[in-house]
Structure 1
Amino acid sequence: MNTLTIVRNYGLTIVTSTGRHAFKVEFVSDEQARARGLMYRKSVPEGTGMLFDFHREGPVSFWMKNTYVSLDMIFIRENGAVARVEHDTTPLSEKVIPSGVPVRYVFEVVAGTAKRLNIQPGDKVVSEYIPASR
């Protein structure tokens, strides 16, 4: 069973060189929900995304198996700083996508979002779900 907590009234903001960009998020913090993620979805609306919390900083990796939508993966340090961005992932791929550095969070959005908003390493992610970012 996928036990996602869907957040409708709250969100996440990424502060970039182009301004503050708000998203509505699905917050995922348990292992079973993280394993499912955005699998089997046929779309991810603009302005939305899924935030994964691993509860500690460390190397993480993802894949796109059973994920039909190309995504941007934003790897985030415990303090809310963007560490790395993986652009335009390949749907249904089993290729492993590593964080490259220790991170606590990963924010997945529809592909093209990171380029359109100029999300870069060092940008700040602010959310009630990232306590160190407040």
Structure 2
Amino acid sequence: MTASGEHAFLVEIADDAAEQERGLMFRPPLADDRGMLFQFPVAEEQGFWMKNTPSSLDIIYIDPTGRIVSIASHAVPYSEVTLPSNGAANGVLELRAGRAEEIGAVPGARVKHPFFKP
């Protein structure tokens, strides 16, 4: 990811319905250099929740070019409230809560991954 600098993450890819439904449910907190990237075939309004997710996350919504659309920071564990992307996104990156701010990720910054085509 590039925001104020380069930051590398080892991400699990959730690119099918079963992986996307399960996400990070029932999992321990993520390490600083870990994340989960959800890939969707079409860019549209996305919405995530924290059902059965025991640790707080930053949920980063990303458009097809790799630009960050929005960030839901410090999502509340176990919450069933939907956190909308507030814009078309076909990628969603989940990181440990607070990590997005630590690395300087902000809307408009670019995420580099082969899935995104700048």
- TM superposition score normalised by structure 2: 0.96
74, 94, 101: which one aligns with 1:115: 101
State the alpha-carbon separation in 1 of the partners of residues 97 and 29 from structure 2: 11
58, 67, 71: which one aligns with 2:57: 71
Unaligned runs of 5+ in 2: none
Residue 71 of structure 2 aligns with an amino acid whose one-letter code is V
Q: SS of the counterpart of 1:127?
A: coil
Q: Which has the higher contact order (CA 8 A, sep 6+)?
A: 2
State the alpha-carbon separation in 1 of the partners of residues 36 and 110 from structure 2: 17
State the alpha-carbon separation in 2 of the partners of residues 129 and 83 from structure 1: 16
- Deviation, 1:40, is 0.2
State the alpha-carbon separation in 2 of the partners of residues 102 and 129 from structure 1: 16
- Deviation, 1:34, is 0.2
Q: Deviations over 1:3-47 (max 9, x none)?
A: xxxxxxxxxxx1112x10110010111111101000000221111
State the alpha-carbon separation in 1 of the partners of residues 9 and 115 from structure 2: 13
State the alpha-carbon separation in 2 of the partners of residues 128 and 100 from structure 1: 24
Counting only pairs closer than 5 Å after superposition, residues 1-134 of structure 1 correspond to structure 2 as 14-17=1-4, 19-130=5-116, 132-133=117-118
Q: SS of the counterpart of 2:9?
A: strand
- The alignment's C-alpha RMSD in Å is 0.8
User: 4+ residue runs of structure 1 moved beyond 2 angstroms?
Assistant: none
- TM superposition score normalised by structure 1: 0.85
Unaligned runs of 5+ in 1: 1-13
State the alpha-carbon separation in 1 of the partners of residues 86 and 67 from structure 2: 14
- Deviation, 1:129, is 2.8
Q: Deviations over 1:62-120 (max 9, x none)?
A: 10010001000010000100111110000001111111101000000000101111100
Q: SS of the counterpart of 2:101?
A: helix
State the alpha-carbon separation in 2 of the partners of residues 39 and 94 from structure 1: 12
Q: SS of the counterpart of 2:38?
A: strand
Residue 16 of structure 2 aligns with an amino acid whose one-letter code is D
